[in-house]
Structure 1
C-alpha cells in the first residue's frame, strides 16, 4: 500500500538522496499511521466498552496515543520541509528530533495513566464478555501493527528519521501488547481467572518501555552519533581516488536532520601539487553535493616531509608525555606548512580517568615546543578512549 501511495503522491520517489523526497516519505508514513491508528482505536474502544474489557479499552487508548504522536510527527515533518534562512541557515530538519522528545514523553505519560486505570481494574475486577468480534478485531490489529512496523522501518532508513525508527519499535511493542490482550481474553473466557486488569498493566508497561526507548534514541541523536560507516567510506573513496591526496584528517559530518548534512575535512599532500590539490578539493566538494545534496568544506594542508624534523618533534612530544607512561597515545601525527611557522598536529588518545587533565597535558606539550622554538604551532585534538594504549608516533 505504501509503495502505491508513494507512486501517487511523491515526485521523484526514486531520488532517495534528496532531502525533500526523504521528508515526503516521512510525511506519508505519518499520515498512514494516523489513519490506521484511528481505525484501530475506534474498533478497540467500541469492542472494549461493549464487552467490559479494560485491557482492550487500554489497548485502544494506546492506539489513540499513537495517532496523536503521529500527528505531532507529521507537523514536525512539515516544518522540516522549510529550507535554510537568515535565522536558521542549516534548515529546519532538527525540528523532527524536538518533536520526537514531545511524542516520547506523551507516550510515557499515556502508559502511566493507563497503568493506573488497569490497577483499579485489579482491585475491582469484572469478567469481560467474549465474542468472535473481539478475536477478529484483535487479530486484525496484530496484523496491521506488523505491517506498520515493516513500512515504518523501511521508510525510517530512507528518511534517516529517528521518529519513524521509534514508531517502528512502538509497533512491535503494540503487536506484543495486543497479543497479550487477546491471550488474556481467551484465558478469561475459558477459565474463571480474572486477569484483565493484570493484562492492562502489562500493556501499559509495553507502552512506557516504548516511550522511554524512543526518548533515549532521540537524545542520543541530539548528542551526536557516529556517522553511517558506508557513508563515511563513500566520502573517503570520493576524495582518495586522486593520487595527490596523501591523507584525510578531521573528517566530520554535521547532521542537521532528514539527510541534510555538512561535511568538513582536511586533506594533505605535497606543496608541489598545490594546484592539483586545490582542484581536487573543488571537484570532490561538487561530486559530494551532486550525490548527497550536501555542502562540503575541504582545507588543503601541505605536508613537511623532513624525516629529521619529524623525529625531533616526536621526541619533544614523547618527552612531554613521558611521565604518563603508556596511558596516553599519539595518533595521526603530522607536520604541516603554515607560512613561516610549522604546525605540529596530532590526536591525543587518553583514558576516561585523565579527561580532567586534558588541558594540563596540552599545555605541557605546548610549553615543551615553546621552549624549543617559537616557530612551532601545536594543534592537539583530544580523543577519549576507555581502553589503554601504548604511545606511538
Structure 2
C-alpha cells in the first residue's frame, strides 16, 4: 500500500537524489501525517470525552501534536528546497533539521503537560465509563499508527531524512502508548481498579523519552557530525582509483543537509611529474565527484619525493617509530631539508580525538624518538586531529 501511494502521489519517485523529488517525498509525508493524525485526534477526543478517560484524551492530544509536527515537517521541506542565495551560499537544506528540532520541543512540551494532568488524575481520581466502542477506536488507532511508522520509516530511509525517521520513531512510541491506554482500560474494567491516571503518566513519560531522543537526533547534524564510514571509504576508494594519486590525507567532509556535501582532501602526487599534468588530474577528480556523487570536492595537491633513498629510508624509520608510540598515529606531508650541521625533518601526524597523549606530550615522545635515530635531526612536527571515523593514511 505504501509503495502504491508513493507511485501515485510522488512524481518521478525513483530519482531520490534529485532535490525536487526529495522535496515531493517530504511534502507527501507531511500531508499523510496531517490527515491521518487529525482523524485519530477526532476519534480519540470524542471517545475520551464520552468515557471521561484522561489517558484517552491525552492520547488524542498526542495525535494532535503529531498533526502539528507534520505541518512543521511540510513547511520545513518546502523551505529547505529553496536554492542557495547570497546570504546562504550553502543552501537551505538544514532548515529540515531546524523543523525537526521544533517538533521535538513540541513533543517535550506536550509530555510535561500530560504528565501534570495525569498526576492530578491520580491524586483526585474520576470514574471512567467503559465503552466497547472505545476499545475498537484504540485498536484501530494502533493499526493506523503501526502503518504510519512503516510509511515514515520507508520514506525516511529512501530520502535519508532524519526528520522523517524521527517521526517514524514517534509513531512507534504512539503505538506503545495507545496499547498502554487500551490495557489500562481493560484492566480497570476487569478489576474495578482505576488505572487511568497511571496509564496517563506512562504515556506522558513515553512522550518525554521520545522528545529527548528526537532532540538529539535532529540537533546532531546542526552541531556537525562526522561522515559515515561508508562515505569516507567511498571517497578514499574513488580517489585512489585514479592513476597518479599516491596517497591522500586530511579529509574533511561538511554536510549542509541532504545533497549539500562539501569536502576537502590532500592528495599526494609524484614530485617529478609535470605540475600541469598533476593539476589537470585533480581538476578531473573534482569534476567527477560533483557529477557522479554530488559532492563539492576541493583537492590540495601535495608533491611527494619518491626517488631519494635517504629520505625514503628515514620516512620508514620514523613511521616505525610512530607505530611504536601508538598504532593510531599516522604521518603525512613528510620532507627533509638536509644540511651539513643539522637536518630539519618536517611532517604532520594525525591522531584521533580522545588520544591518550596530549599534543605536547606526543611531540616530546617524537622528539626523543627522532633523537635516537640521529642526533642532528631537528623535528618540525604538526599534530592534526582526524575529522573522519578512520584516520589511517591512505596509499594507492
Q: TM-score, normalised by structure 2?
A: 0.84
In structure 2, distance between residues paired with 1:381 and 1:99: 35
Residue 252 of structure 1 deviates from its aligned partner by: 2.3
8 A Cα contact 2:23 2:81, kept in partner: yes
Q: Are 1:330 and 2:329 counterparts? A: yes
Other structure's SS at 1:176 match: helix
Other structure's SS at 1:333 match: strand
Residue 162 of structure 1 deviates from its aligned partner by: 1.9
8 A Cα contact 1:346 1:380, kept in partner: yes
Instruction: Describe the shift of the 1:304–1:30 C-alpha distance in structure 2 as closer, same or farther (beyond 3 A).
Output: same
Other structure's SS at 2:329 match: strand
Residue 364 of structure 1 deviates from its aligned partner by: 9.6
Alignment partner, residue 57 of structure 1: 57
Deviations 1:109-156 (A, max 9, x none): 110100111111112222322223212211111111111111211222
In structure 1, distance between residues paired with 2:120 and 2:264: 57
Residue 7 of structure 1 deviates from its aligned partner by: 3.0
8 A Cα contact 1:249 1:266, kept in partner: yes
Q: Are 1:344 and 2:344 counterparts? A: no
Alignment partner, residue 393 of structure 2: none
Alignment partner, residue 186 of structure 2: 186
Other structure's SS at 2:244 match: coil
In structure 1, distance between residues paired with 2:247 and 2:187: 66
Other structure's SS at 2:172 match: helix
- Between 1:129-138 and 1:139-148, the stretch displaced more is 129-138
Alignment partner, residue 310 of structure 2: 308
Q: Are 1:278 and 2:279 counterparts? A: yes
Instruction: Note the residue ranges of structure 1 that are not aligned, 5 or more in a row.
Output: 386-393
In structure 2, distance between residues paired with 1:280 and 1:6: 42
Deviations 1:155-214 (A, max 9, x none): 222222221121111111110000111111111122211001100000001100000001
Residue 28 of structure 1 deviates from its aligned partner by: 1.5
Instruction: Describe the shift of the 1:49–1:358 C-alpha distance in structure 2 as closer, same or farther (beyond 3 A).
Output: same
Residue 105 of structure 1 deviates from its aligned partner by: 1.5
8 A Cα contact 1:153 1:165, kept in partner: yes
In structure 2, distance between residues paired with 1:258 and 1:105: 23
Other structure's SS at 1:87 match: coil
Instruction: Describe the shift of the 1:327–1:271 C-alpha distance in structure 2 as closer, same or farther (beyond 3 A).
Output: closer
Deviations 1:216-237 (A, max 9, x none): 1222222322323333333333
Q: Are 1:27 and 2:48 counterparts? A: no
Deviations 1:74-122 (A, max 9, x none): 2211110112111110001111222222221111111010011111111
Deviations 1:29-54 (A, max 9, x none): 12211111111111101101011111
Instruction: Describe the shift of the 1:384–1:14 C-alpha distance in structure 2 as closer, same or farther (beyond 3 A).
Output: closer
Other structure's SS at 2:349 match: strand
Alignment partner, residue 391 of structure 1: none
Deviations 1:226-280 (A, max 9, x none): 3233333333332222232111212222110123211221221213444554333
8 A Cα contact 1:82 1:92, kept in partner: yes
Other structure's SS at 1:60 match: helix
Residue 327 of structure 1 deviates from its aligned partner by: 6.5
Aligned length: 376
Alignment of 1:1-393 (within 5 A): 1-274=1-274, 275-305=276-306, 306-312=308-314, 326=325, 330-335=329-334, 344-349=347-352, 351=354, 354=357, 357-358=358-359, 378-383=381-386
Q: TM-score, normalised by structure 1?
A: 0.84
Instruction: Note the residue ranges of structure 2 that are not aligned, 5 or more in a row.
Output: 338-343, 389-396
Residue 55 of structure 1 deviates from its aligned partner by: 0.7
- Between 1:280-289 and 1:183-192, the stretch displaced more is 280-289
CA RMSD of aligned residues (A): 3.3
Alignment partner, residue 392 of structure 2: none
Deviations 1:279-299 (A, max 9, x none): 332333223222333311122
In structure 1, distance between residues paired with 2:330 and 2:255: 26
